[in-house]
Amino acid sequence: MSEEEEIRKKWQKIPMSKPRIRKVTVNISVGESGEPLERAGKVLQELTGQKPVKRKAKQTIRDFGIREGEPIACIVTLRRERAVEFLKKALQAIDNKLSRSCFDKYGNFSFGIKEHIELPDTKYRPELGIFGMDVSITLGRAGYRVKERRWAKSKISKHHLMTTEEAIVLVKDTIGAEVV
């Protein structure tokens, strides 16, 4: 019996152990404030259907002309159905293939899209331009909230933590992506 079949059997036996997509974070980093950041925000809002939040530079980098506290990126966090919808579109932009190196040891994964016009049903608009983006997916099981909540924080057992193999099986089953 393969490892994937064992994981699926475990999920059938203990349904609460089956992981799910907690959130999808989409980030466009422009590197400067002003007009380019506003255009990136419009692109992100059109793609996700949510208003983006601006992120500020954490430190000054004189070589790039970045000052601490200057807004240089915009970000959107998607959850539930919106997250799965966007993730399916974003994976089509990279031919539904993910590298095994995209996954971390806790099952989360990230990938980049070079041009936002690679997403299906997205047309090029000259007034906005072309932007690349990073997509980060956070996976989790039921009960993961106890390690992040403010009140009565608690640790999670090492047996309850996700593994890379479980994340790969989940991605193959729910989204239909191929991991190479």
Tens of pLDDT, residue by residue over 14-42, are: 888 888 889 999 999 887 778 888 888 88
Q: Kindly report the pTM of this predicted structure.
A: 0.84
Please tell me whether residue 164 adopts helix, strand or coil conformation.
helix
| pLDDT tens string 101-138 | 888 888 899 999 888 888 888 888 888 888 888 999 99
Length of the chain: 180
Total structural domains within the chain: 1
Task: Give the CATH number, domain containing residue 161.
Answer: 3.30.1440.10
- Beta-carbon contacts of 68 under 8 Å, excluding residues fewer than 6 positions away, are 56, 57, 58, 59, 60
Residues of the domain holding 111: 3-179
Instruction: Tell me what the mean pLDDT of segment 41-53 comes to.
Output: 89
Predicted confidence (pLDDT) at residue 1 exceeds the cutoff of 70: no
Amino acid 117: pLDDT: 83
CA distance 66 to 164: 36
Amino acid 51: pLDDT: 92
Q: Return the exposure string of 96-117: e unless at least 16 CB atoms fall within 10 Å of the residue's CB, then b.
A: eebeeebbeeebbbebebeebb
Name the least confident of 63-67, 68-72, 87-91, 143-147.
Answer: 63-67
Amino acid 65: pLDDT: 77
